[in-house]
Amino acid sequence: MSETTPGGSPPDAKPLLQTIGLTKRYGTFLANDGIDTEIWPRQIHALLGENGAGKSTLVKLIYGLLQPSAGEMRWEGHVMVLAGPAQARARGIGMVFQHFSLFDNLTVAENVALGLDGKESFKDISARLREVSRLYGLPLDPKREVWQLSVGERQRIEIVRALMQNPRFLILDEPTSVLTPQEADQLFAVLERLKAEGRAILYISHKLDEVKRLCDTATILRTGRKVATCSPKAETAGSLARMMVGTEIKEIRAATRAARMPRLVVNHLDLVPDDPHGVRLDDVSLELKGGEILGMAGVAGNGQDELFAALSGERLVEQSNAIVIEGIAAGALSITARRRLGAAFVPEERLGHGTAPRMKLSDNTLLTGHAAPGMVRHGFVDTQRVLAAVDRITESFDVRKARRDPEAASLSGGNLQKFVVGREILQNPGVLVVSQPTWGVDAGAATVIRQALLDLAAGGTAVLVISQDLDELIEITDRIAVMFHGRLSASLKTADATREQLGLLMGGSHPGQEDTAHAARA
Amino acid sequence: MELVEAIILSVLAASTPLLIAATGELVTERSGVLNLGVEGMMIMGAACGLGGTWLTGSIIVGALCGMIAGMLLSLIFATMTLGLAVNQVATGLALTIFGIGLSGLIGAGFVGERIATAPHLHLPSPTDVPFGGRILFGQDGFVYLSLALIVAVRWFLYRTRAGLVLRACGDNHVSAHALGYPVLRIRLLATMFGGACAGLAGAYLPLAYTPFFIPGMTAGRGWIALALVVFASWLPGRLVIGAYLFGAVSILQLHAQGAGIGIPSQFMSALPYLATVIVLVALSRARSGGSTTPASLGTVFVPDR
């Protein structure tokens, strides 16, 4: 293989895809401003940028979902105009969406069939789906309906669906955000294999280490413009982040914290799920002191959602003392009663669960803050105070928005996440349960959120972080426990835990049983 | 025996328009469009259906006139809700009011005119089998058509790719758009199908049930069809159960009233609604988890460009 051109292609070869001055304008706002890139076969090309840098817009242009305002795309040297995604797929462009393009009430096989353009019979699709999912180690049951599946499983559908199109150019938008390290490794192996097969891959990620490890080239976007093209392997994570953000990202500092009274205790919690396909919680116990951050790792769909529902009060527990908040048996208490005890909860799903999408930020603040004193007086809403709370959240967490009090749905994913986390943190809770605090959030914002969690713990709050991002857990937690098939492992001291150990626990094996039990005592 | 046969025959006749109208609305709603104008489209179908038959003497022409009338009305609805992204509920209600008014105008010329109703099937030997023969082999064409229609719709929705795409549009129009499906065009076609069915169901009334047109003769059947779709959880099989159950209880309570049962007649008249709701709710409860409600139902979709 020649080393003279990127990716070792022969010098006379043309790039598979080339964008020249690609521009997308909304009114006066330039979502993409004259972007030049080249995508070569046999290359994994990273697309880096903060939330709102224009990555999604660029990808939508390439996939035919949006039409450029100016500039052009060339496919193997010929001008390419795409009227829609079907035309992109016909050329061999496949896409794995970040906000999944799945249909909740349809089965896995039906969802896959909708992404294929051929005249394949439904039976053949199911068979090929099994085949592809086995081949690439992404297990899926074609007959399940999507609403029953976890976020991680949903993503598998997206990936398998794209792979089944046999694409020459595959776009992946944040594919590893919900995978275990082992699953991510498997995916990387798949991507390496696809690359070796001569395909081109455009890889969007916030995880700079991953990009460094996997990608051959990187295009970095900032506020709609391309700021750099570089070879990530030659850069450091810090230098990549600097190019993305334009400024240095702060290192997280861990504060010293003294252990205090247990503020959140779960005693042998058994819970049969309402949904027949849900996960049964089996003898889950944990104890969380003030000033402590406990991480809960695990692959999506192993009972984290069920545990979150039981802790937050969305699902009541029969034995009231199975959940104890601030020394009070809370298993049978309502969500509001638990909030009055000083607990706060941040669910995984930002829109629909964490916020009411069509309501204003002030209304959404009130929805979780009404139990605390201040916002409601004698049954009347104190609008000024609620708005002031919105302003405080906005300021402390750098929530970017067009107006003072817009609808929740109008915020970008990362900004809404900052808002949802900030809303609970600023209530200064005694116990905070937070699920996927930085999912889909850019590196800069993730740092802000993690620092806020650390600061909160330093102030004496007990923090439970449920996350699929092991790096995050290792960075901020004191202890980590792993959820598998509804059982919670004993917790390991984060400082002593290795990724391998955690990865094995996430897969259901128990490495060094005695050691683990020992570590939990500590 | 004679009485039982007579009751079953009248149940079939009473249920057929409900089944046809509800089948059309089921397809419309499965694509994500909530058209509350069924009553208006039905009454227009009744007026135009009678008009067509009265002028030409042909039942088929009448039925086609009814279908076209319903479809034209649904096109007005589609222009407003799909083209101009107006609220579907408000537009549907307006459509019903509009249809009732317009049908009065169109039908004014034929009020009181009688026509010969649709002929019933007659196969010499099977139809004359004493009990059951007339029920199975002695119906008018609409009854057989309505059953063929629901079977075809079920096959279309669950066995064809186009049906899958239609359900996908109703479930999540953003995703369907992201995958490159023409959401608005699919919804337009589904809405027109719903309109044609409602028009046909309306035409059934003067062409096969009562052989003349009077204003307001649909008497709320369009609303019942709408309710049936919801209570049947948007499932074709359950729609058949619901439509026939409703028809059966409405006929039976009439006979019961006639026989002089000492229950207030108002309560008896409410029975069909009550029975249908109870049975269909019980069926929905029996289904384990999940919702079959098209998630995008009634929401306006504007593709971003």
Over residues A466-493, mean pLDDT: 88
Option in A101, A104, A113 nearest B178 (CB):
A101
The radius of gyration of chain B's CA atoms, rounded to the nearest angstrom, is 20
- Residue B192 and residue A142 in contact, taking contact as beta carbons nearer than 8 Å: no
Q: Which residue has the higher pLDDT, B33 or B292?
A: B33
Say whether pLDDT at A512 is over 60. Answer: no
pLDDT over 60 at A463, yes or no? yes
**A45-54, B15-24, B183-192: least confident range:** A45-54
**CB-closest option in B161, B167, B174 to A106:** B167
Q: ipTM higher than 0.95?
A: no
Distance CA A48, CA A229 (A): 10
Q: What is the pLDDT of residue A4?
A: 39
Residue A277: is its pLDDT beyond 80?
no
The residue with greater pLDDT, A414 or A453, is A453
DSSP secondary structure, A139-198, as one string: ---TTSBGGGS-HHHHHHHHHHHHHHT--SEEEEESTTTTS-HHHHHHHHHHHHHHHHTT
CATH classification code of A6-92+167-245: 3.40.50.300
8 A C-beta contact, residue A359 and residue A353? no
What DSSP assignment string belongs to A51-97? TTSSHHHHHHHHTTSS--SEEEEEETTEEE--SSHHHHHHHTEEEE-
Contact A85 B294 (CB under 8 A): no
E strand or H helix at B216, and its extent? none
Query: Which residues of chain B lie closer than 8 angstroms to A102, CB-CB?
Result: 172, 175
When mean pLDDT is compared across A73-77, B200-204, B287-291, the lowest value belongs to B287-291
As a whole number, mean pLDDT of residues B38-67 equals: 94
- pLDDT for the residue numbered B3: 79
Most confident of A311-320, A368-377, B95-104, B128-137: B95-104
pLDDT band at B81 (very low <50, low <70, confident <90, very high): very high
Long-range contacts of A489-497 (CB under 8 A, 24+ apart): A489/A516, A490/A516, A490/A517, A490/A519, A490/A520, A491/A286, A491/A294, A491/A519, A491/A520, A492/A516, A492/A519, A492/A520, A493/A519, A493/A522, A494/A295
Residue B290 pLDDT = 52
Inspect the interface and report whether the beta carbons of B289 and A97 lie closer than 8 Å.
no
B266: three-class secondary structure by DSSP: helix
Q: Which residues pair with A225 in a beta bridge?
A: A222
Q: What residues in A contact B289, CB-CB < 8 Å? A: 148, 274-277
CA distance B290 to chain A (A): 7
- C-beta of residue A337 within 8 angstroms of C-beta of residue A313: yes
Round to whole Å and give the CA distance between A157 and A162: 8
Tokens 């109870």 correspond to B278
pLDDT, tens digit, 9 for 90 and up, residues B228-274 = 998 888 999 989 998 999 889 888 888 888 887 778 888 888 888 88
pLDDT band of A9, cuts 50, 70, 90:
very low
Instruction: Report whether pLDDT(A44) > 50.
Output: yes
Q: How many CB pairs under 8 A join A and B?
A: 64
Question: Contact, A326 vs A431, CB < 8 A?
Answer: yes
* pLDDT of A293 strictly over 80: yes
pLDDT, average across residues A178-185 = 71
- Token readout for A475 is 């960075």
CA-based nearest residue to A292, from A465, A50, A487, A411: A465
**Residue B175 to residue A101, Cβ atoms within 8 A:** yes
Residue of B nearest to A275 (CA): B289
Residue A181 or A282, more confident? A282
A137's torsion region: left (phi>0), alpha (psi -120 to 50) or beta?
A: left
- B56 at interface of A, judged by CB pairs closer than 8 A: no
Does residue B60 form part of some domain? Answer: yes
Structure token digits, residue B203: 């035409």
Query: Using CA atoms, how far apart are residues B66 and B196, in angstroms rounded to an integer?
Result: 8
Instruction: Report if residue B302 sits inside a domain.
Output: no
- Out of A84, A97, A105, the one facing B171 most closely (by C-beta) is A105
Report which of residues A104 and A519 the model is more confident about: A104
More confident residue, A518 or A397: A397
Q: Report the domain count for chain B.
A: 1
**Percent residues over pLDDT 70 in chain B:** 97
Q: In CATH terms, are A6-92+167-245 and A262-521 the same topology?
A: yes
Predicted local distance difference test score (pLDDT) of residue A516: 41
d(CA B64, CA B70) in angstroms, rounded, equals: 10
**Three-class SS string for A439-451?**
CCCCHHHHHHHHH
A382 — phi, psi (to 5°)? Answer: -90, 90
Domain membership flag for residue B292: no
Q: Which domain holds residue B164?
A: 2-222
Rounded to whole angstroms, the Cα distance separating A32 from A140 reads 36
Long-range contacts of B81-88 (CB under 8 A, 24+ apart): B81/B33, B81/B300, B82/B33, B82/B184, B82/B187, B82/B188, B82/B191, B85/B300, B85/B301, B85/B302, B86/B300, B87/B300, B88/B33, B88/B34, B88/B35, B88/B36, B88/B298, B88/B300
Q: Is residue B107 in some structural domain?
A: yes
Closest Cβ–Cβ partner in A97, A105, A148 for B178: A97
The domain spans of chain A are 6-92+167-245, 262-521
pLDDT surpasses 50 at A33 = yes
How many CA atoms lie less than 13 Å away from B54 in the CB half-sphere?
20
pLDDT of residue A55: 86
- Supply the mean pLDDT for chain B: 88
A277, B179: Cβ pair inside 8 Å? no
Q: The sheet that has A323-325: what strands, in order across it?
A: A281-289, A262-271, A323-325, A328-329
pLDDT at B153: 96
Percent with pLDDT over 70 in chain A: 89
Average pLDDT of the residues in A182-193: 81
Binned at pLDDT 50, 70 and 90, residue A2 comes out as very low
Q: What is the pLDDT of residues B99-139, one digit of tens each?
A: 999 999 998 888 778 888 777 777 777 777 777 777 777 78
Q: How far apart are CA B34 and CA B110, in angstroms?
A: 32
What CA–CA distance (Å, rounded) separates B10 from B140? 12
Query: What confidence tens digit (pLDDT) does each residue in A246-259 have?
Result: 665 556 655 555 55
CB–CB contact A103 B172 (8 Å)? yes
Q: How far is B294 from chain A (nearest CA, A)?
A: 8
pLDDT at B305 over 60: no
Position A371 scores a pLDDT of: 73
The answer to whether B41 and B102 are in contact (CB under 8 A) is: no
Chain B neighbors of A105, CB-CB under 8 A: 167, 171, 290-292, 294-295
Which range is least confidently modeled, A354-363, B17-26, B107-116, B160-169?
Answer: B107-116
The whole-chain average pLDDT of chain A stands at 83
> Is residue B29 included in any domain, yes or no?
yes
On the question of pLDDT at B95 being above 90, the answer is yes
Higher pLDDT, A325 or B6: A325
Residue with tokens 């064409």: B141
Q: What local confidence, expressed as pLDDT, does residue A262 receive?
A: 87
The residue count for chain B: 305
User: Do A321 and A329 form a contact (C-beta atoms < 8 A)?
Assistant: yes
Residue B145: band (very low, low, confident or very high) from pLDDT cuts 50, 70, 90: very high
- The pair of structure tokens assigned to B49 is 């259906």
Distance CA A132, CA A145 (A): 19
Tokens 């909304």 label which residue?
A26
Confirm whether B43 is domain-assigned: yes
> Do the Cβ atoms of A105 and B288 come within 8 Å?
no
Q: Which residue of A has its CA nearest to B30?
A: A105
Instruction: Report the amino acid identity of residue A370.
Output: H
- Is residue A50 within 8 Å of A444, Cβ to Cβ? yes
CATH number of A262-521: 3.40.50.300
Name the residue among B177, B179, B304 with its Cβ closest to that of A115: B179
Beta-carbon contacts of residue A83 (< 8 Å; ≥ 6 apart): A64
Interface of B with A in 154-183 (CB under 8 A): 161, 164-165, 167-168, 171-172, 174-181
Please give the pLDDT value at position A324: 92
- pLDDT confidence band for A447 (50 / 70 / 90): confident
Closest Cβ–Cβ partner in A85, A100, A103 for B180: A85
DSSP, residue by residue, B10-62: HHHHHHHHHHHHHHHHHHHHHTT---TTHHHHHHHHHHHHHHHHHHH--HHHH
pLDDT band at B51 (very low <50, low <70, confident <90, very high): very high
